[in-house]
Amino acid sequence: MTDLNETSINSVEAISYRYYNYVALIIILGILIIGKPRKKVDNKNRKLGQWTAEDYKPPSPAPYPNWDLNKTGPLPYRAFKHKYNITMGIRNMDWSSWFEIDNQWFKFHREKLNRLEKYDTSLYETTKEALPAAYELLEEMREYLPKRYPSMFESTEYGIHNKATDEDVNFMGKYRNFNPAKKTGVDPMKLAALLVQDDLAIMMESKDGQYILKGGAIILPGFWKFRDKFNMTLENIHTSGDVPKFKEKLQSGMEKFFVRLTCDKPVVRNNYFLQTDDQLGWSVSIGNEFKGKVGWGTADEATEIEKIHLRSERQSLRRLPKSGAIIFTVRTYFIPITEIVKEPFIPRRLLNGILSWEEDVQDYRGFTKFKDVLLPYLEEKALEQERLGFLPEEGPNVFPF
């Protein structure tokens, strides 16, 4: 009897002992399979300048419908209104449209290569702080470009294959070799800028919540120089360029916007300028880019309408999930005025827009340097259209088109 009792006590203990073992095993397996229990990432309440990597993955872009590198023309942005009003002017961005590529890609690419050959590191830099963001940008481009433009890009083991140039653009694994201190290896921002038509900038948050230009490839800027703005805050970037009403109308909204921007809510904005020469990379008529001070103040007055171009930028802003850096893209659209006046309503709308500029906007945009040639020409073209019945403006005028 005693023996039996002892055995049954022992076997109860043995069973519960084995049971605990199973529970422990299941927990260990659970951790291995699902991952360690983690603190929830809460970047909303972050300490400024301290980003915690997020797992966010942007939605996969749809292939661009019927896209052909040799045929698909630039989107016809005509980003001016009858009345000019300075605002941030940001709109939500459709993820599919992060980078816009069209049949001017070769022209942009050649111009970028030419300028890189002449000016090289004046046009780009990746600092040590911006290095993870720069590689993250390239990896995001590797996800995006082959899906959006499958006839032009393919993702490969180490990066992207560019079918237009038959080049392998490698930046992963052993090719992740840029050393910002020694400047050895290949600068990732230069690689990124040679894939697309855009200029690219990396803005990083400081401990006091300022956004600072810490890296970029600004190769076709037209009117400003990367080196003049490098390592500057958003405030100094804009005030040093005398952006009209920056402090009164833009600064505080912009700074709040940058701090609050989340990974899933990219935005775009469009602007426009007039340029009095036909150079995409740098507006030579305002002066030599690398000699002395340049600006509208030093520009000659335009004499021929054929020289005047509409320069319009489509800019995007998104935050990268891992590094937390904000990527600023600038895609330029560059068209002779003599071309766009053929479009319905455009001469009158552009003329009205320019005539509504206040004095500070006139100064910033070089009004006096082209007004005598441009304004009578636009008036003539507008009247021609109005005699044909294009009045008042109707039809598609949904900003920015």
Ligand X SMILES: *[C@@H]1O[C@H](CO)[C@@H](O)[C@H](O)[C@H]1NC(C)=O
Residues in contact with ligand X by the rule CB under 6 A: 70, 83, 85, 87, 127, 231, 249
Q: Kindly list the strands in the beta sheet with 267-275, ordered across the sheet, starting from the edge strand earlier in the chain.
A: 91-92, 267-275, 309-319, 326-336, 199-205, 211-217, 124-126
Task: Tell me whether residue 132 or residue 266 sits nearer to ligand HEM (CB atom).
Answer: 266
Task: Tell me whether residue 229 or residue 369 sits nearer to ligand X (CB atom).
Answer: 229
Q: Which does 201 bind (CB under 5 to 8 A by kind): ligand HEM, ligand X, none?
A: ligand HEM
**Phi, psi angles (nearest 5°) of residue 184:** -105, 160
Task: Tell me whether residue 104 or residue 127 sits nearer to ligand X (CB atom).
Answer: 127
The burial of 297, by beta-carbon neighbours within 10 Å (0-12 exposed, 13-18 middle, 19 or more buried), is given as exposed
Q: How far is the CB of 300 from ligand X (least distance, A)?
A: 33
Q: Which does 322 bind (CB under 5 to 8 A by kind): ligand HEM, ligand X, none?
A: none
Task: Tell me whether residue 150 or residue 253 sits nearer to ligand HEM (CB atom).
Answer: 253
Q: How far is the CB of 307 from ligand HEM (least distance, A)?
A: 21
Neighbours of 268 (CB within 10 A): 20
Helices 367-387/346-355 angle, 10° precision? 140
Task: Tell me whether residue 81 or residue 176 sits nearer to ligand X (CB atom).
Answer: 81
Q: How far is the CB of 376 from ligand X (least distance, A)?
A: 26
Q: Which does 85 bind (CB under 5 to 8 A by kind): ligand X, ligand HEM, none?
A: ligand X
Q: How far is the CB of 343 from ligand HEM (least distance, A)?
A: 22
Q: How far is the CB of 333 from ligand HEM (least distance, A)?
A: 13
Q: How far is the CB of 354 from ligand X (least distance, A)?
A: 16
Q: Which residues of 26-59 are buried (b: 16+ CB within 10 A; e: fewer)?
A: eeeeeeeeeeeeeeeeeeeeeeeeebeebeeebe
Rg over CA atoms, the chain: 28
Task: Tell me whether residue 53 or residue 254 sits nearer to ligand HEM (CB atom).
Answer: 254
Q: Which does 224 bind (CB under 5 to 8 A by kind): ligand X, ligand HEM, none?
A: ligand HEM
Task: Tell me whether residue 154 or residue 360 sits nearer to ligand HEM (CB atom).
Answer: 360
Residues lying near ligand HEM in the complex (CB under 6 A) are found at 86, 88, 90, 201, 203, 213, 223-224, 229, 237-238, 241, 243, 250, 254, 257, 271, 328
Q: How far is the CB of 303 from ligand HEM (least distance, A)?
A: 24
Q: How far is the CB of 90 from ligand HEM (least distance, A)?
A: 5
